[in-house]
Amino acid sequence: MDAKLIQLTVDALSSGGIIALFALGIALIFGVMDLINFAHASLIVVTSYSLLYLDVLPAGAALVAAIGMAVVVALATERVAFRPIRGAGEVTLLVTSFAVFYLIQNLTLLIVGGIPQSVHVLGFVRGSVMLGDVRVAKLSLVTIAVTGALLVSLAAFLKRTSFGLQMRAAAEDFGMARLLGVRANSVVAWAFALSGVLAGCAAILFVAETGTLTPNMGFNLVLFAFVATILGGLGSLWGAVLGAFILGALMVTLQNALPLDVRPYRDAFVFLAVIALLILLPNGLAGRRTRSA
């Protein structure tokens, strides 16, 4: 029983970690722009398929370049699609981000073609390690470590640096922050760039685990991330992370606890559980936006 618990915990932390990285990127952008950025979902496809073309580079450089692609695409979407509508109503922002997602997704597929391909990433992280009585995949541990490192660095950046402070101020009250001298464009651009880095890392970890590239890869995972930000409460970065880990735990628990014939419905059950949680807490776990239903 103990071994099983360790296994489940490792899985939950590693899946939750990937979801958390996506959720954090989404929460960052929401914080500075009040925008739920569906286009974030397209960054998985962009990063992963870039890896395919970048395998001429040595492993480390390829990874960095792929993350770079995610950052470039994120910044491009900000400049071209989201800056003109900054401050527009919720609905316009939401629908625009959906359109951008669709556009980038299909453009990428147009360029690379839709046939599933295999890719080898983080090849040196093969194999498993013994943790007490349990055999644990090295990749899971690496995922947890990378996620932890990124979260800690982001926290340090936001708390300790001047720019982090500006971003937090902008997330708190954009207008006031500008009056106090925060440059709006830089803050928003940095939010997008950071979200690109987070998404790129998450995508690499995801691809390392699954090994295949398909047109719709990771969509369910990113959807979990969106739902995690709601669960955590829109407007709270750490709520998003918490929500993500809760979802990861739910996912892994259900995967193991559900009877075999019901297991294909796992994702449906996760969403149902989230909806149930939201009935109890309509503003999420740590939400600061209070809107009556």
Partner 1 sequence: MACGHATNFGAHWRRAASAATRLGPLGIAVGVPILAVGAVSLFGSRSSERELTLIFIYVTIVVGLYVFSGLSGIMTFGHMGFMAVGAYAGAIFTIPVERKQFLLPDLPDFLQQIELGVGSGALVAGAVASAVAAVASIPIMRLAGLAASLSTLALLVIVNVVAQNWETVTRGNQTMLGVPTNTTLTSAFVTVVIVIVAAHLFERSRPGLRLRAYREDELAAAAGGIAGANERRLAFILSAFIVGLAGFLFAQFVGAFNANAFYLDLTFLTLAMLVVGGIYSLPGAVVGAMVVSSISWVLRRFEHDQDIGPVVVPGVGGIRELGVAVAMLAVLLVYREGLAGAGRSIGPFLVAAARRARRRPGASAPPMGRSVE
Phi-psi region of 233 (alpha: psi -120 to 50; beta: other; left: phi over 0): left
Smallest gap, in angstroms, from Cβ of residue 224 to partner 1?
9
Smallest gap, in angstroms, from Cβ of residue 83 to partner 1?
10
CA 233 to chain centre: 16
Residues that bind partner 1 (CB under 8 A): 36, 81, 84-85, 88, 90-92, 94-96, 98-100, 102-103, 106-107, 109-110, 219-220, 223, 226-227, 230, 234, 264-265, 267-268, 271-272, 274-276, 278-279, 282, 284, 289, 291-293
Give, in degrees to the nearest 5, the angle at Cα 237 between 229 and 105.
50
Smallest gap, in angstroms, from Cβ of residue 100 to partner 1?
7
Q: Which is nearer to partner 1, 53 or 271 (CB)?
A: 271
Q: Give dist(CA 25, CA 202) in Å, integer.
A: 10
Q: Which is nearer to partner 1, 137 or 286 (CB)?
A: 286
Smallest gap, in angstroms, from Cβ of residue 196 to partner 1?
20
- Token couple for 268: 């449906």
- Token couple for 285: 């776990």
DSSP-based three-state secondary structure for 11: helix
Q: Which is nearer to partner 1, 5 or 265 (CB)?
A: 265
Smallest gap, in angstroms, from Cβ of residue 278 to partner 1?
6
- Token couple for 80: 């071209």
Smallest gap, in angstroms, from Cβ of residue 95 to partner 1?
6
DSSP-based three-state secondary structure for 3: helix
DSSP-based three-state secondary structure for 135: strand
Q: Which is nearer to partner 1, 103 or 131 (CB)?
A: 103
Closest of 254, 249, 269, 281 to residue 20, by C-alpha? 249
Give, in degrees to the nearest 5, the angle at Cα 278 between 283 and 205.
95
Q: Which is nearer to partner 1, 81 or 119 (CB)?
A: 81
Q: Which is nearer to partner 1, 100 or 207 (CB)?
A: 100
